[in-house]
Amino acid sequence: MSRIYAIILCLGAFVISTDQWTKYLALEKLHFEGQSIPFLSWFSFTLVHNHGAAFGMLRTLPDSVRVGFFLLMPLAVLSILWWSMVRHYKKDQLLAPLAMGLVFGGAIGNLIDRMRFGYVIDFVDWFYPSRDGSCIPLFYYQAGTGCHWPVFNIADSAISIAVVLLAIESFRSSASEKTKAS
């Protein structure tokens, strides 16, 4: 069991430190919200102050509700994941400790921003050109630059990767249970 804790803590610490370091660099190079530095024809660094949740959802809530919600939510999510993944861990679950480490690091990385600034620093801007303004789902149109995915950061990426790992683990577990039942 101590090996699982070591994986979670080491991966979480790596995500937190990488996330905070890249946000520091973004703030050093991008001096005001909306400032952008092109990197590739489909990728740039753009500073965004995200006052909401993923994709900016819930940003219109009153500050009195939003601040408490976004400070308590990561702690609640981490508690639920801890209970469901670590306390009920099975040795054949190879991806669960990795997913927990990624979620832990991502949640704490964004929580640090919320405590320091009152919002999360996002800076990774991924997009593709669109002449007629039509975008594939989940992308939004921005005149002059094309269709953009909502701007994100390393912590968001870690949490997204964790969701994929948990889905893979879920399929592996159900396939394993079907094999054992046959």
Which pair of structure tokens corresponds to residue 70? 């976004």
Give burial (CB, 10 Å; 0-12/13-18/19+) of 120.
buried
Q: Give me the active site residues, please.
A: 122, 156
Helix (H, G, I), strand (E, B) or coil at 80: helix
Q: Count the residues in the chain.
A: 182
**In 103-144, where do the E strands start and end?**
120-128, 140-142
DSSP H/E element including 5? helix 2-29
Q: Catalogue the long-range contacts made by 37-44 (C-beta closer than 8 Å, 24 or more residues apart).
A: 42/126, 42/127, 42/128, 43/124, 43/125, 43/126, 43/127, 44/125, 44/127
Q: Which residues contact 148 (CB under 8 A, 6 or more apart)?
A: 125, 126, 127, 139, 140, 141, 142
